[in-house]
Each structure stands twice: as C-alpha cells, then as structure tokens.
Amino acid sequence: MRLRIFYLFIFLSISVASAQTNANEYIPKNLDSIKGYLKAINLKFIDGIDGKFSSKIKKIYKDRDEKVIKAIEDSAYVFNVRIKQNLDVLLRHVYDANPQIHSKDYYFFINNSLVPNAACYGDGMFEINLGLLSRLDSEDELAFVICHEIAHMLLNHSLKGVTKAMLNLYSDETKNKIEEIKRQEYGRTRAALSVIDELNIDILNHSKEVEAQADSLGYILFSNTKYKKPKALTALDKLKKVDDMVFSHPMKLDSVFNFENYPFKAYWLEENSTSLFDIDKEINDFQLVSDSIKTHPEIVFRKEKLIQEFDIISEEKRDQYFKDHLHEIKKDVNIKVVKSTFDLNFLDLAIYHLIERYNNRKIDIEYYHLYMAKVLQRLYEIKKTHEMGKYIPPKSNFSKEKQLNLIRLFLHNLELKEVENLGFAYCDENQPKMLNNKEFEDVYMFFKKINNQ
C-alpha cells in the first residue's frame, strides 16, 4: 500500500513537472521522478511474478526496465506539455466510461519513433509513437487504440506471452530437440535455425490470437465511451495500409530546391552505378519462414473477427459532439515529427515531413522555411565531418518507399560544395519571407560566411 502511494505520487509529479518544462522536451527536468516511477511499477510487477521460470522472467522484465530508462536518457521519448494535456483529456474519457480500469499506475509515454505503433509494457507503462499519432485521423481512432492497449494490460498479455514462450523454450520437447541437435554431427546450424523458426512461428501465431482478444476487450471498453464505434475498424484499416507505404506524398525536389541563382541540377537525382543483381527483392537462402510472416493477414483477420463479434458496421453512427483532441495533438505532432527527425539528424525524413506537411498545410510557411534552412545547414555539417551515412541510409532498390529513396539519392549525390551553394541560395531567396526571424537569420549568416559573401 505504501508503495502504491509512493508511485502514485511520482505519477502525479510527472504530470505536474512536465507541465512546467519545455526547455528540453526529450529529457524532462523530472527525469529522476520518472525513473523512480518506472522502477517502482517494475518492482511491483516483478514481485507479483511466481511459478515456473519466474527468476528468468523477472530478469527479462528487469533488463527491459533498464533499457527503457536508457532509451529515455538517449532522447527516445518526447515530453510535450500540450500533447500530454490533450491526451489526458482523452484518457479521462476512457477511464470515466470504464470505472473497472484501475488507472492509477498507468502512464502513457510518447515515443519519438515514426513507426505507427503503440505498446503495453504490462506493468502500467504504455507508449504511443509519434508515427501513430501522425497516422490516425480522429480522436475516436486513437481512443480505440488506447482501449486495445489497456485491454492487453487487463488481460495480462505481456506476462502470459513471456511465460508461454518460456514454457515452450524450456519444454521437454524443445530441450530434446536441442539435445538431439547437439548430438548431430552434421547440419546442426540448419537444424537449430529450424527450431528457432518453429518457436518464432508459435509466438507469432499466439500473437495473432492475443491481438484479437485485445481488440475484443478493447472494443468493449471503447463502446462504453462516447466515441464513434465504426472508427475502431478505420483505425485497423490505417494500420494495414501503412504496411504498404508510409511516405507516399510526391517529393518534387526539382522545384523545392530550384533557385534563380542556383538552378536544380538533373544529375542530383541520377543513379550512376549498376546493381549487382537484377532482382526486385532480396534473395536469402537462409531466410526463416517466421521472417516472412507479414502483419497484413493479421489485421484482416482481426477486423473480420471484430465485425463478426460486435456487428459494428450496422451500428448507428453518432454525431461528433466534442472537440477532437487528436486534431489538437496533431498540431503539435506535426511540428514534433519535423523537429525530432531533425534533432536525430534523420534529414531524409525531416525533408519528407517538411514538404508533406507544408503542402498539406499542416505547418506554416515560417516554420517550413526555418527548418528547411536548418536541415541544409545540418546536412553541410554532417557531410563535412563524414558522418552523413550514419544517419541517412543510401537508396535501396528493394524499398517500396520511392519518395524517401528519391530524397536519399538526392542527399547522397550532393557534394559539400553544392550544399554550401544550395543552402545559401535557399536562404537568399526566402529571406524576404523571413524578416525578423532570428534563427533563420543565423542560418543565412552561416551560409553567407562559408560562401564568403
């Protein structure tokens, strides 16, 4: 009981403290409180683990907790006041409509990742990626995803999943297989890979069922709220679509980077070398079956199951009756996505998000020009120190992300001197639109200086 009060206090202190700081949104001032909260919920969760392999399972969760703390210290999460405030409103709706949820220990972190994903850690920690907030279109959809994650928590899926995998891994059957492999003189590696594959497939198959269970309970929680129920299906649809392509907005780089004093050069988008192979997907004679299992069928399966179980389609549509907090969240997310990719030096993604968001009027012209100029400055800096390849992968012939490939080809083809000229031309041409913007002026000065202007 004492423990619960302790980390309830920590939980509240996170909310309060995060509301006070905006200086560094990656490392909050109350980092120690957050660490304390995570350790406390982890400890409580680990204390509750018993039975077979409990020490091994406890170690898995303990290690994971350490990884989460390191990830926070490595700026993998964003602590933004407005996003949190809007998310809290949504969560309050869900909790109020479902009093059976004991949400005192729950905390939703926002991960910087652009992968449209969310996760339940099993001990009260949840995370929602910026990529998911960016991908969904309404508060209703986000509410369903949150209900789904809470359902995982209520159904104790994390611990059950780990326990099941451990039981499989250390079962007599698996042990015998491993012993048999060890006795084998020939073909041991292939045999071991085959066992790993079987275990992986079992986990993935189990995961399909588990996701469907979380959908069902999640939908029950969701249907207790005032959110529009068919949006549960549209949320799933969006997650299915993103598997095909995330970055589909056309990147007209030859117009974005074409200036009167420094016109765009066609060779910046030319691929000069010949590929070793004339193939459209990777060939791997050692690929495991489990590696090729896609998430598509799972989403289709889950959607159909949800429709059968709850007859969602025929449900009467309700009118939207309140302010959509996801729209509010997305205003910040649009900026955060650009800033976070820029801060991480993922300049290919930063350019994509700047162009896409500017063209779709999600960010204003001043923010667009400021960050595009900053991107060019950063590009110059990481090229000069021979670090660009660490952050921006080269074009891949196997990637479906053609627009992203185009940006990568462009960035890799640019020479340092060309970035110098490009940055100067960009600032010079857009400077009249950016009067009184000190940050832009600084970037302009930087390019002026290296261009000896």
Partner 1 sequence: MRKILIPIIVCLFSVSLIAQHKSLNEIASFKIRNAGALIDKNKDVDGYYYYYEVDKLKKKQREYAIKLLDNNLNETVTKSYIDNKNTILADSKFNNQALMFAMFNKKEEQFKLVAFDRKGEQGEDIIVPINKKEMRWVGFMEQSGAFNLLLPVDNKGFLFNYVKDNKKIGYSLKYIATDGGTSWNYDSPDDAKEIMMLNPIEANNEVVVAMQSSKKSVLSQTVNMKIIVLDIETGKLLFEKEYDRENNPRLITNAFLTKEKTLVLLGEYFDKGDNILKASSKGLFSQIVDLSGKELADNKVGWTERIDKIMPPDSDGKKRASTYVYFHDIVRTQKGTFYCVGEKYRKTVSLAGVLGMAANARGGNSMTQLTITDVVIFEFDANFKLNDIKVFKKGKSRAPSIMDIGSPQLNAHALKTLGAFDYEFTQIDTGRDRFYVNFIDYERLKGEKNKSAFKTIMYSDGQLSQDKIYLSESKGRTKFRVFPAKLGHVMLMEYNKKEKKLDIHLEKLNI
Name residues contacting partner 1, limited to 278-317 (CB under 8 A). 278-279, 282-286, 290, 295, 298-299
- Pick between residue 122 and residue 434 the one whose CB is nearest to partner 1: 122
Among 35, 269, 343, 393, binds partner 1 (CB under 8 A): 393
The upper half-sphere exposure of residue 302, i.e. CA atoms within 13 Å in the direction of its Cβ, equals 29
Q: Which residues does residue 108 pair with via DSSP β-bridges, in sequence order?
A: 126
Among 88, 254, 343, 401, binds partner 1 (CB under 8 A): 401
- Pick between residue 81 and residue 159 the one whose CB is nearest to partner 1: 159
Are the CB atoms for 122 and 157 separated by under 8 Å? yes
376 binds partner 1 (CB under 8 A): no
Please tell me the distance from the alpha carbon of residue 183 to that of residue 371, in angstroms, as a whole number.
Answer: 61
Please tell me the distance from the alpha carbon of residue 20 to that of residue 208, in angstroms, as a whole number.
Answer: 41
Whole-number Cα distances in Å, 9 to 31, 45, 105: 14, 18, 10
Q: Binders of partner 1: how many residues, by CB under 8 A?
A: 86
Site for partner 1 in 124-153 (CB under 8 A): 145, 148-149, 152
Nearest to 129 by CA among 322, 341, 296, 351: 341
- Pick between residue 385 and residue 436 the one whose CB is nearest to partner 1: 385
Least separation in angstroms between residue 366's CB and partner 1 is: 29
Q: Which two tokens stand for residue 220?
A: 């029950």
Residue 111 has phi, psi (to 5 degrees) of: -90, 140
- Pick between residue 299 and residue 370 the one whose CB is nearest to partner 1: 299
Least separation in angstroms between residue 380's CB and partner 1 is: 10
Stretch of 36-44, 94-102, 118-126, 310-318 contacting partner 1, by CB under 8 A: 118-126
> Which string of x and - marks every residue 64-103 that binds partner 1 (by CB under 8 A)?
----------------------------------------
Pairing mode of beta strands 77-78, 118-120: unpaired
Among 2, 186, 260, 316, binds partner 1 (CB under 8 A): 186
> Which string of x and - marks every residue 335-364 that binds partner 1 (by CB under 8 A)?
-----------x------------------
158 binds partner 1 (CB under 8 A): yes
Among 40, 86, 122, 221, binds partner 1 (CB under 8 A): 122
Among 85, 397, 437, 451, binds partner 1 (CB under 8 A): 397
* H/E segment holding residue 129: strand 125-129
8 binds partner 1 (CB under 8 A): no
Stretch of 33-41, 224-232, 306-314, 387-395 contacting partner 1, by CB under 8 A: 387-395
Please tell me the distance from the alpha carbon of residue 95 to that of residue 222, in angstroms, as a whole number.
Answer: 10
Stretch of 185-193, 224-232, 331-339, 435-443 contacting partner 1, by CB under 8 A: 185-193
46 binds partner 1 (CB under 8 A): no
Are the CB atoms for 195 and 285 separated by under 8 Å? no
Stretch of 44-52, 158-166, 423-431, 441-449 contacting partner 1, by CB under 8 A: 158-166
Token look-up 């509240």 returns 12
Cβ neighbours around 253 below 10 Å, total: 19
Among 23, 50, 55, 185, binds partner 1 (CB under 8 A): 185
Are the CB atoms for 28 and 18 separated by under 8 Å? yes
Nearest to 133 by CA among 146, 125, 142, 120: 142
Residue 109 has phi, psi (to 5 degrees) of: -90, 150
- Pick between residue 187 and residue 250 the one whose CB is nearest to partner 1: 187
Site for partner 1 in 200-259 (CB under 8 A): 200, 203-204, 207, 210-211, 214, 239-240, 242-243, 246
| Helix residue spans in 311-401 (DSSP H) | 325-343, 347-359, 365-384, 388-391
The upper half-sphere exposure of residue 48, i.e. CA atoms within 13 Å in the direction of its Cβ, equals 10
Please tell me the distance from the alpha carbon of residue 310 to that of residue 271, in angstroms, as a whole number.
Answer: 52
- Pick between residue 142 and residue 329 the one whose CB is nearest to partner 1: 142
- Pick between residue 276 and residue 435 the one whose CB is nearest to partner 1: 276
- Pick between residue 433 and residue 449 the one whose CB is nearest to partner 1: 449
Please tell me the distance from the alpha carbon of residue 375 to that of residue 350, in angstroms, as a whole number.
Answer: 7
